[in-house]
Amino acid sequence: MKYQSTRGKCPAVTAAQAIQVGIAPDGGLFVPDAVPKLDASSFDVMQAWTYQERACYILQMYLPDFTAEDIKSCVYGAYNQNSFDSPEVAPLREIIPGLNILELWHGPTCAFKDMALQMLPHLLTLSVSKNGEHDEIVILVATSGDTGKAALEGFKDVKGTRIIVFFPRDGVSEVQKRQMITQEGNNVSVAAVKGNFDDAQNGVKNIFASERVVKTLADSHMKMSSANSINWGRLLPQIVYYVSSYLDILAAGKKAGEPVNVVVPTGNFGNILAAYYARQMGVPIKKLICASNSNNVLTDFLRTGIYNRNRHFYKTMSPSMDILISSNLERLLHEITDDAEKVSAWLEDLRETGQYQVDDKTLGEIQKLFWADYCSEEETTQTIKMVWQEHHYLLDPHTAVAWNVYEKYAKAENDPTEAIIASTASPFKFGSSVAQAVLQPERFAQARDEFEILDILARETGLTVPGGIKDLKQREIRHDTICDRDAMDKAVLGFLEL
C-alpha cells in the first residue's frame, strides 16, 4: 500500500513518509491508494479481543512498512493504564435500547483527541527512523481547543521532536486554555493567536508552504510535521474505535451484518471521516450523521453541494466545532470522485473566493452516505438538561449537539436503526455550560471561577472531576505568548531560536 496526494501532483509515498511529512508537497492530504477490507471471519474473531489487539490488527493493514513488533510497541505505548482511566480505552455505553454512547475521552486530556495523539508520537518517531532521517522534527499544531493539549501531552519530552501549538486567544474554554498554558515539557511552546481557529489553521498551513521558513529550519537540521488531522497518522488510530465499537455491539448480541448509524459532532471533518473509512473497510454503517453547531457550513454543504465559508463566525459553547474551513473534507472529495484535478480546482476556488460547488453526481454519492443537520445554542443546553433528567447521563456540549441532531434524523427519516453517538469530551471540560444546563442558578451563583463551578457540578451530580482537569488551577502558567495571525511564522522561528 502506498499513499497518494488528494491533489495528484506528487509521487506516491510509503506510510512512514506520509506520517513524517504530514502534508503532501503539492498542498494536498495523503490518502491510501486502496482501503483494506475486513471479512466476516475477522469480525467474528475480533469480538473477543481487547481494544489493543483490535488496534494492532487494523493498523497493520494500513502500515505495511511497519513490522508487527513496531505496531505493537505503538499501540501498547499509547493505550495503557498510565494514560487511560478505562481498561476498555473507548467504552461503549448503552443509554437506552438502540442508542449507544462511544466514550472517547478517557485519556489524559479528557478529549477524543487523546485516542490519536497518544499514538502519533510513537508512529512519527518510528517513521522518521524508517526514513533514515536524523533531523529534529518540529510539530506545528493549530487547535480549536482539544487537539492542542492532547498533542502537547503526547509529544512532551519525546526525543528528537519540538512541538509548537497555536490557539485562538478568545476561542477556547477556560479549562482548555489553562490545560495548554500550564503544559510542562522541555520541548513545548504555546501561543495565543489574535483571531479565530481558521486564522490559526491557515497560519500553520502558510508556514508549511513558506520556502523561507523551510530553508531556515533545514539549515539548522530541522523539518516540520503536523499533529493536526491533516496528518494521516492522526486519522488512522481513529478508524480503530469505530471498528471496535461495532465489535462491542456484536459481542453484546447484535447479529453480524445488521447496520448501525454513526453520529459524530463535526468541525474539521476528521472524526467522521474515520467513521467513513471504517465503513469502507466493511463496518455496516447505514448513515454517517454529521452534527454541526451554529457554524453549520458542513450542514449546508452536505445538503446543497455548495461549500461557502463566507458567513458569520459564531463563538459557541462547543468551541472545538467552531470552524468554517473543514480541512479533511478534501479527503472525502478525493475518495468519492477519484479525480485529483476536480478536487484541486474546488480547493483553489475555496482559496480564491471562499466557496466552491461540487457537481450533482458527487453530491449524490455523498448524500447516499451522509445526513446532516445542526443544533443551536439553546437546543444544546436543552439537550444536556433533558438527557441528564431522563437518563442520568451527563453530556458535554459537543456530544449534546450530536444527540440533538440524531433525534432530528430519527424523526425526519423514521429510522429505528441502532445508533452510536461519538462522545468527544468529558462534560467537565465545559463545566460552566454544563452547570447552566443541569443546575439551578443559585447552586453556582457564588462560584468565583470555572474551577469552582467544576467542584459544584461534581458535588451536585455525584460524578468525579477527571484527574486531567481537577488540579489545573494550581498549576504554574508557563506560556504567555500572544501573536498576530500574520506573525505566526516569526513566533515559530522565535520559539526555535532561529
pLDDT in tens, 147-198: 899 999 999 999 999 999 999 998 888 888 999 999 999 999 999 999 998 8
DSSP3 helix / strand / coil % (the chain, rounded to 5): 50, 15, 35
56 in a domain, yes or no?
no
Measured between alpha carbons, how far is 69 from 10 in angstroms, rounded to an integer?
31
Beta-carbon contacts of residue 381 (< 8 Å; ≥ 6 apart): 317, 400, 433, 436, 437
User: How far from chain centre, in Å, is Cα 21?
Assistant: 19
The mean per-residue pLDDT over the stretch 431-437 comes to 95
**Given pLDDT bands bounded at 50, 70 and 90, which one contains residue 144?**
confident
**What's the total number of domains in the chain?**
3
Measured between alpha carbons, how far is 350 from 451 in angstroms, rounded to an integer?
41
**Given pLDDT bands bounded at 50, 70 and 90, which one contains residue 71?**
very high
**Given pLDDT bands bounded at 50, 70 and 90, which one contains residue 329?**
very high
Measured between alpha carbons, how far is 198 from 327 in angstroms, rounded to an integer?
10
Q: Are residues 301 and 409 in the same domain?
A: yes
Q: Are residues 458 and 420 in the same domain?
A: no
240 in a domain, yes or no?
yes
**Given pLDDT bands bounded at 50, 70 and 90, which one contains residue 497?**
very high
The mean per-residue pLDDT over the stretch 118-138 comes to 94
466-479 pLDDT tens trace = 988 988 989 999 99
Q: What mean pLDDT is reported for the chain?
A: 96
Q: Are residues 300 and 437 in the same domain?
A: no
The mean per-residue pLDDT over the stretch 350-356 comes to 97
Whether the per-residue pLDDT at 413 is higher than 90: the answer is yes
The mean per-residue pLDDT over the stretch 31-55 comes to 97
Q: Are residues 338 and 223 in the same domain?
A: no
Catalytic choice (9, 72, 113, 177): 113
Q: Are residues 209 and 292 in the same domain?
A: no
Q: Are residues 146 and 264 in the same domain?
A: no
Active site residue 113: yes
**Residue matched to cell numbers 518517531:** 125
Measured between alpha carbons, how far is 375 from 184 in angstroms, rounded to an integer?
36
pLDDT of residue 280: 99
**Given pLDDT bands bounded at 50, 70 and 90, which one contains residue 247?**
very high
Whether the per-residue pLDDT at 493 is higher than 90: the answer is yes
- Please check whether residue 166 is in contact with residue 143, taking contact to mean a CB–CB distance below 8 angstroms: yes
Q: Are residues 361 and 237 in the same domain?
A: yes
Q: What is the pTM of this model?
A: 0.94
Whether the per-residue pLDDT at 145 is higher than 80: the answer is no
- Please check whether residue 309 is in contact with residue 350, taking contact to mean a CB–CB distance below 8 angstroms: yes
Whether the per-residue pLDDT at 426 is higher than 90: the answer is yes
Q: Are residues 424 and 311 in the same domain?
A: yes
Q: Are residues 271 and 381 in the same domain?
A: yes
Q: Are residues 153 and 168 in the same domain?
A: yes
Other Cβ atoms less than 10 A from the Cβ of 434: the count is 27
Domain interval for residue 252: 92-107+233-428
- Reduce the DSSP state of residue 487 to 3 states and report it: helix
pLDDT of residue 471: 86
Q: Which three cell numbers stand for residue 448?
A: 468565583
**Greater pLDDT, 250 or 448:** 250
pLDDT of residue 333: 99
Measured between alpha carbons, how far is 153 from 158 in angstroms, rounded to an integer?
10
pLDDT of residue 250: 96
Nearest to 205 by CA among 498, 497, 495, 489: 489
